[in-house]
Amino acid sequence: MTEPRTLDILAVAGVDADLVLTVDRLPSFDEKVIGRLVGRLPGGPAANSACAASRLGLRVAALATVGADEAAQIIIDGYTQFGVDISLVEVSPDATSPFTVILIDPTGEKAIVVVPGTPPRYRMDRVEQALRRARAMYMMPGDHAQFLELARLARACGAEVMIDVESTVGFSPAVLDQLLAAVDIASFNQDGFITATGEQPTPEALGRLLDYGPHTVVVTRGARGALAATADQVAEWPGYRVEVVDTTGAGDTFNAAFLCATFDGLALEKRLRFANAAAAISVTSIGPRGRLPTRQEIQGFLSTYREE
């Protein structure tokens, strides 16, 4: 008997506590700059997306392992603030929670140093129970073997798999076919796409990735907007001009909104339009979750936005 899909997204790993600093300029080699502390904020790509999706009204649960440390409490409190289910977040006294150091310049652009924590290990029986209730699993595929195990389990449980690919995850051409074969929606930022494929993101290059198995491939390009392809459509939507305060988490917000619009059955171009608007709103406040929009805020933005 098939269990009811009472969960929209299971967001896997991708957690950290961010030490956020503002600087007058990003330092170059062997240069010292003065920073101002913003604070220690909850972050992480999958965690940011989970909170953004919950803010959009989706039912979201987190799967993660954290240490019994100060960073763990920041991470857990960050989830609960946005109503994300934390019943699958395990606090292990033998683990170290991941953290990042984020430097933000006056234009809102950033430099990030990632300090990974202890590699997570999950109780697969509990993961399977969650996936049988979920419509989709979302994660950044860092540990490839673990990702494939989780992705295959998600597929077996009837949940779709969406991944977020940045250049840091080691998604190289050598493993491209194996990993994409386990994916339904593959979202890349521009650097991640170039690293993974050796190509610039063009409609033709996105189309070639569809042959590996995903039904949708998306590439975010910052202020230039986003490009996406399915078997029968290619769509592009420009970025929106807004006053940028901090770009941290913009791609994570985009992915949450794109998946939300996919659940809503919107056409590909309208999915990009909706997700780009969500990302544009998110960069107008500091911190990766400083301004996660609701559906109503996105619709209001789209109804009033005028291109300069």
Q: Which domains does the chain have, with CATH numbers?
A: 7-15+45-97+120-304 (3.40.1190.20)
Cα(290)–Cα(155) distance, integer angstroms: 33
pLDDT, position 4? 84
Token digits of residue 115: 């300090």
pLDDT, position 308? 52
pLDDT, position 307? 67
Helix and strand numbers, DSSP H then E, in the chain:
10, 13
Q: Is 43 helix (H, G, I), strand (E, B) or coil?
A: strand
pTM summary value? 0.92
The Cα angle at residue 153 between residues 150 and 156, in degrees rounded to 5:
155
pLDDT, position 2? 62
Q: Is 179 helix (H, G, I), strand (E, B) or coil?
A: helix
pLDDT, position 306? 76
Helices (H), 56-115: 70-81
pLDDT tens digits for 220-266? 999 899 999 999 999 999 999 999 999 999 999 999 999 999 999 99
- pLDDT averaged per 10 residues, the chain (length 308): 84 94 92 93 95 98 94 95 96 91 91 89 93 97 92 97 88 84 97 93 96 97 95 96 93 98 97 98 93 97 83
For 85: left if phi > 0, alpha if psi spans -120 to 50, otherwise beta; the answer is beta
Do the Cβ atoms of 24 and 35 come closer than 8 Å? no
pLDDT, position 154? 98
CA–CA distances in Å: residue 114 to residues 14, 83, 133, 206:
11, 26, 32, 28
Do the Cβ atoms of 287 and 74 come closer than 8 Å? no
Cα(141)–Cα(181) distance, integer angstroms: 13
Do the Cβ atoms of 5 and 60 come closer than 8 Å? no
Lay out the sheet containing 160-165: strands in order across.
85-92, 60-67, 7-12, 134-139, 160-165, 185-189, 216-220, 226-230, 234-237
